[in-house]
Each structure stands twice: as C-alpha cells, then as structure tokens.
Amino acid sequence: GENVEQHPSTLSVQEGDSAVIKCTYSDSASNYFPWYKQELGKGPQLIIDIRSNVGEKKDQRIAVTLNKTAKHFSLHITETQPEDSAVYFCAASRGGSGGSNYKLTFGKGTLLTVNP
Amino acid sequence: DTGVSQNPRHKITKRGQNVTFRCDPISEHNRLYWYRQTLGQGPEFLTYFQNEAQLEKSRLLSDRFSAERPKGSFSTLEIQRTEQGDSAMYLCASSSTGRGGDTQYFGPGTRLTVL
C-alpha cells in the first residue's frame, strides 16, 4: 500500500518568513495530493491540492509543487502570519484508479509555529 | 453548503460499552469516508461508502466496528465492546462524483475517550 513520509515534524518561523514542508510517497499510481490544515480540536481543512498532470499550483500565499519522477511534493507558505500556526498534513490518493476508492493516505503532520 | 457535521463531538464511555457516532455529509455528496486519528498522527482510513454501498473496509476495522449508510445520506459508525485502544478522534469526510470528486471535505470529528 501507499506510504507517505512528511518532514519536518515541527517547524518554527518568524512572522513574515517562508515555510516549506516536504512529503514523499511510495505508490507511483498516486495522482492526487491534497494538503490539509488542522487546528486544535478541529477537523482537517483542505487548503490546496494538486493533481499529477500539474507541476505547480499557487493560491495567494500558498503554493504546492509536485515532482512525479522523484515522488515528492512540497507545500510553500510565504509571508507567514501567526494565524498560519497549526498542524499541516500532506496526503496522497490514487483517485479511484485501480479500485482504490479514493482513500487518502496521510503523512504524520508538521506542527508549524509562526512567532510574532 | 453547510459542511460535514458529526455528532456527538465528544463521547466518554467505559470499557465494554457500545457507542455510535453519526455523520451528515455535504448534501448531494454521494461518497462518504470514515477515518481515525490518534494523537500526533495523521488520519487513517477506515471505510468508504458510495451511496449506500460500503465499498472498502480497512483491516484496521475489526469485527467490533460496523458502519452503515442506509439511505445514502447520513452514516453511522458503531463500536461494540469498546477498548481503551479505541480512544481516538473519529473523522468523517465526503466528496462528490465527477470533476473534483477526489476532493474530500472533513467534519469536525468525534473525540472518543474510553475509560
């Protein structure tokens, strides 16, 4: 089955700096890669996603890059703000191909702290 | 679009008791997923429904766990004879079919504590 590794497990930055979180996956058939933000006591909130036919996607201060050959993808947050502090999860899915039924395999998460 | 809702938000029970959680997906989403999340870990897939059909169950889902989605709308997850190891956050997610159908939206979760 799929295995997703996520690094670092904790990340502390100063407000205004950039933050980068990296993930690798093992299943070459995975073709959908979402990122979720989870605040304490809440469910994961989708912040951005990318599909395997795209190498990069950007939404305001958030961007995701995908390297299918190397099987890794990264989340980039620019101009970080204290409200960006949360746990971030990457995930991978086959998107329904091969009978996988769209299930997501998650990394273990990165605790991002943005210091004012 | 009111989002995915889950009830109850918190449940404390004694070992050996049965518990049932409910998930209401985003309206018109015909795919529904259950995940379990323990402290410091990412969510782990438990089971998946398309309409009322349960199409996949993880081996994490022991015989004490059962999930239903009788009319293809809300879903319930029941745990029988709870054990302390069942303590976790149980998350429900839903998605649509068609374009963007792999995008899953999560509810707030039900936190289960087994004493």
The pLDDT tens digits for B9-63 are 999 999 999 999 999 999 989 999 999 999 999 999 999 999 999 988 998 888 9
Q: Which of A91, A103, A108 shows the shortest C-beta gap to B41?
A: A108
Q: Which of A95, A101, A107 shows the shortest C-beta gap to B48?
A: A101
Give residue A13's pLDDT: 97
Residues facing B31 on adjacent strands = B50, B95
> Are A102 and B101 a contacting pair at CB < 8 A?
yes
Q: How far is CA B68 from CA A97, B45, B75, in A?
A: 24, 16, 6
Residues of A with CB under 8 A from a CB of B: 4, 6, 32, 34, 36, 41-46, 49, 89, 91, 93, 95-96, 101-109
Can you tell me the distance from the alpha carbon of B93 to that of A39, in angstroms, rounded to the nearest whole number?
A: 17
Sequence-separated (6 or more) residues with CB below 8 Å from residue B111: A41, B9, B10, B11, B88, B89, B90
SS3 category, B84: helix
Q: How confident is the model at residue B102 (pLDDT cuts 50, 70, 90)?
A: confident
Amino acid at B10: H
Residue B64 or B28, more confident? B64
Residue A65 in this model has a pLDDT that exceeds 90: yes
Can you tell me the distance from the alpha carbon of A3 to that of A26, in angstroms, rounded to the nearest whole number?
A: 5
Can you tell me the distance from the alpha carbon of B31 to that of A107, in angstroms, rounded to the nearest whole number?
A: 22
Strand segments, DSSP code E, in A1-55 are: 4-7, 10-14, 19-25, 32-38, 45-51
